[in-house]
Structure 1
Amino acid sequence: MPETLPKKESLAFKVFTNLTFWVLIAIICAILLGHFEPEKAVKMEFIGKWFINIIKVFIAPIIFLTIVLGISGMGDLKKVGRIGVKSLVYFEIVTTFALAIGVAVAMLIKPGKIDRSGLSVQDPSKYVSGKTDFDWLQFFAENLTLQVLIAAIIVGIALNYYRKRQQVVDVLYVCSKYVFLALKLVMYLAPLGAFGGMAYTIGKFGLHTLLPLGKLMLTMYITMGLFVFLILGTILRYYKVRILDFLNYIKTELLLVLGTSSSESALPNLMEKLEKMGCSKSVVGLVVPTGYSFNLDGTSIYLSMAVIFLAQLYDVHLTFGEILTVIGLLMITSKGAAGVTGSGFIVLASTLTAIHKIPVEGLAFLLGVDKFMSEARAITNFIGNGVAAIVISKNEGEFMEIEEEPA
């Protein structure tokens, strides 16, 4: 009997220190305030904007550091030559396909559609340019995000040819560590951001605005499920591996990812199991860690769908060219967005800032359900990286067939 008391206290401690719990409480409070005291709720908008403005401060340094460290790490890929190239090609093809699926499903189901008018944009000129001709030079000159991306790519490539590359990388890694630590601390303010954004939305537009959030969550989970079983399942079947067998083989790791909402939590176990399954140790050691930055299937689906969702929410029409621009930007900015709390919002904020058409303030509205979709993103990313290691091993003839199939 005395032994059960600490367990109960421990459970209560975990609940009350869980960020998702406080985000949920903030959302409930915001909904109640917005419904019963709409005038007061509308005044809470500044809290949501304040949180988003803090997040925007991290855009440039995080994009720069993740891209530079990712590209400079390709120095290791040269050691395995052909495998490295195949891995990157595979990553880019699959993640681009995931981005396209996210856009296609969001445009088909339209989870962000409320009515014909959508949420109003207070200052349309702030987001929509009156010019019909698209000027790439002006587009680049006015977007800090793109400038940082180009600079990061150049620096990353240059570092691969610098003799003291590792010293610079070590410094950048330390900088990245502290920047992400600061972002993690800022994300503790997420309940305030969720409260401000949700209270304003409900107070100004009514309870019916909750319907799009529910539709987005349902659409996201269904899309990621279809992606795993149809797309990744088809890829594995080509290499004579059944997706259900593989999922059953890593079920313990999947539960760990589900519990922590982070695909990195089960990284060591996944690598060990892939080797026992028959994958080459060298391929696993290269593909899986690299995939955590370059092969983010779940994150790609979420990001592309979220951009289209916000466009629908604000009744902003995106041309085919702008949709391609979104996909192109996300192909780059989504790299390195896994496993770090709040990094998905950095990617979304940077993308919305770059296309300069959809209000960045919409992120406060999206924040309300983001925590509840993180599990789906993490699990899809996790499965995708396991599949990538199997595919590359099989393709390279470095998969040692075992007599018994994984159970």
Structure 2
Amino acid sequence: MKTTTSNSSRKAKKSTFKTIITNLTFWVLIAIIAGILLGHFSPENGVKMKIVGQTFIDIIKLFIGPIIFLTIVLGISGMGNLKKVGRIGVKALAYFEVVSTVALAIGVAIAYLFEPGKIDKSGLALQDASEYTKNPSADFSWLQFFLSNFTLQVLLAAIVCGIVLNFYKKREQTILVLERASKVVFFGLKYVMYLAPLGAFGGMAYTIGKFGLSTLIPLGKLMLCVYATMFLFVFLILGSILKYYKINILLILKYIKEELLLVLGTSSSEAALPSIMVKLEQMGCSKSVVGLVIPTGYSFNLDGTSIYLSMSVIFLAQLYDVHLSFFEILSVIGILMITSKGAAGVTGSGFIVLASTLTAIHKIPVEGLAFLLGVDKFMSEARAITNLIGNTVATIVISKTERDFTELNLEPIVEE
């Protein structure tokens, strides 16, 4: 009897061990820890790992265009009812604007409450911000912003194609071809995701090796405020929204933990876009809603980016002892409401948006962006994670309002 019990125990332990070592989350976490250690103890080698993390993100980005295009086209054409497409689109954009505006306002409020810009300014190592701002004194060009934003271009093309396809005579045959193409793309992505630990390792090693922990001390207060604000936003604002639908935010976070770890390692919410779409469908959200809301949200629902941008403007104002009137604060929020849209689609676009905002209010030196370069990389993880969670919540909310949610698949997520 004891022998049987012992064998069963051994088998259980072996099974548990096998589950752990074959879990992608485990290896991503190990890679993140290894990257931190390499960057800290061997900075030169850590910096060299930049190419590893960047290559993984570049490979993932190859899938972003086809996935956004195929999912939106299939989502719109699959609905068959253009009124439904328009209804979902209007709901999504209204939700995005309201929630992202709340994020902007919270960022401004917390920045004024804790004053992260009023710090000891000695010892700050300024860096050249010109590579990010390009020509900050030039007027902001919407045409140029659109032409340089691949995500927005694909979104527009996909929406037009999806609508046109509803009037095409051979609609069913075309949808069948697109569905097959979608399966091929996701099949290829499945194997690319096995490289996620390498991407996480490279990104984290470069970050620590390049900037080091000691250089963050003068700007530590800003980082702390940004992280705390995003934490409060996720659990108070997004948590309350989900609470209204009787869904626990903690269980949602647990459900998407692999994607959160991937974003943490790569500092890019785009890296998790394909897999989060699959998980939301498995959770119970309809494919058509996921295919329309998630890709659109990656350009129009950037909660983390909104918080970061608003806090950065106030931080720089405090750093230069610039007083902003109530009207000017409202102007900052209004400008960022517009210019922050699509900010995740272009490398360094956060600095472009900040530069255009600072130029518009004509009070804060644009050169102040150099103060943010040293810590921007460390805050990008928080931005990307908050953006991902925000888009996940948005998809659930829109699915719920459309009554297009499979309740049977919701058992592990809904509160008792």
> TM-score per shorter chain, which class?
0.5 to 0.7
Q: Which residue pairs with 1:387 in the alignment?
A: 393
Question: Deviations for 1:85-104, whole angstroms, at most 9, x for unmatched residues?
Answer: 00000000000000000000
Return the match for 1:300 from 301, 306, 309: 306
Match of 1:396 in 2: 402
Provide structure 1 residue ranges, at least 5 long, that are not aligned to the other structure: 1-6, 22-72, 120-141, 167-189, 196-206
1:14 to 1:250, Cα distance in 2 relative to 1, 3 A? farther
Superposition pairs of residues 240-319 of structure 1, within 5 angstroms = 240-319=246-325
- Structure-2 residue corresponding to 1:27: none
In structure 1, C-alpha distance between the alignment counterparts of 2:357 and 2:273, rounded to whole Å: 28
Per-residue deviation, residues 112-139 of structure 1 (Å, max 9, x unmatched): 01379xx9xxxxxxxxxxxxxxxxxxxx
Shift of 1:20: 11
Aligned 8 A contact 2:282 2:409 in 1: no
1:264–1:339 contact (8 Å) kept in structure 2: no
Query: Aligned letter for 1:16?
Result: V
Q: Counterpart in 2 of 1:222?
A: 228
Offset at residue 161 of structure 1 (A): 12
| Percentage of identical aligned residues | 71
Shift of 1:405: 2.6
Secondary structure in structure 2 of the residue aligned to 1:81: helix
Q: Distance in 2 between the 1:373 and 1:387 partners? A: 21
Check whether the contact 1:111–1:219 (CA below 8 A) recurs between aligned residues.
Answer: yes
Q: Tell me how far apart the structure 1 counterparts of residues 368 and 359 of structure 2 sit (CA, whole Å).
A: 12
Does structure 2 retain, via aligned residues, the 8 Å contact 1:111–1:212? no
Q: 1:231 aligns with which of 219, 222, 237?
A: 237
Shift in CA distance, 84/254, structure 1 to aligned 2, threshold 3 Å: same
Q: Give yes or no for the alignment of 1:320 onto 2:294.
A: no
Determine the C-alpha separation between the residues in 2 that align with 1:338 and 1:226: 22
Q: Deviations over 1:290-349 (max 9, x none)?
A: 000000000000000000000000000111111111111101111111264311111111
Q: CA RMSD in A?
A: 4.1
SS at match of 2:387: helix
- 1:90 matches 2:95: yes
User: Contact conserved, 1:307 with 1:348, CA < 8 A, in 2?
Assistant: yes
Contact 1:349 1:360 in 2 (8 A): yes
Q: Normalization by structure 2: what TM-score?
A: 0.60
Is the CA contact (8 Å cut-off) linking 1:283 and 1:393 kept in structure 2? yes
Cα distance in 1, alignment partners of residues 307 and 314 from structure 2: 11
Q: Which runs of 4+ in 1 moved over 6 A?
A: 11-14, 73-79, 150-153
Partner of 1:363: 369
CA distance in 2, matches of 1:79, 1:261: 35
TM-score norm. by structure 1 comes to 0.62
Q: Does 1:106 align with 2:106?
A: no
- Return the match for 2:342 from 336, 339, 349: 336
Structure 1 150/319 Cα, relative in aligned 2: closer, same or farther at 3 Å? farther
Give the distance between the partners of 1:108 and 1:310, measured in 2 at CA. Answer: 15
Question: Deviations 1:217-272 (Å, cap 9, x if unpaired)?
Answer: 00111110010011000000101110001000000111111111000101111011
Quick one: structure 1 residues 284 and 14, their matched pair in 2 at CA, closer, same or farther if it must change by over 3 Å? farther
Residues 261 and 161 of structure 1, relative CA distance in 2, 3 Å threshold: closer
Which of 131, 139, 147 lines up with 1:144 in the alignment? 139
Partner residue in 1 for 2:4: none
Q: What is the match of residue 46 of structure 2?
A: 15
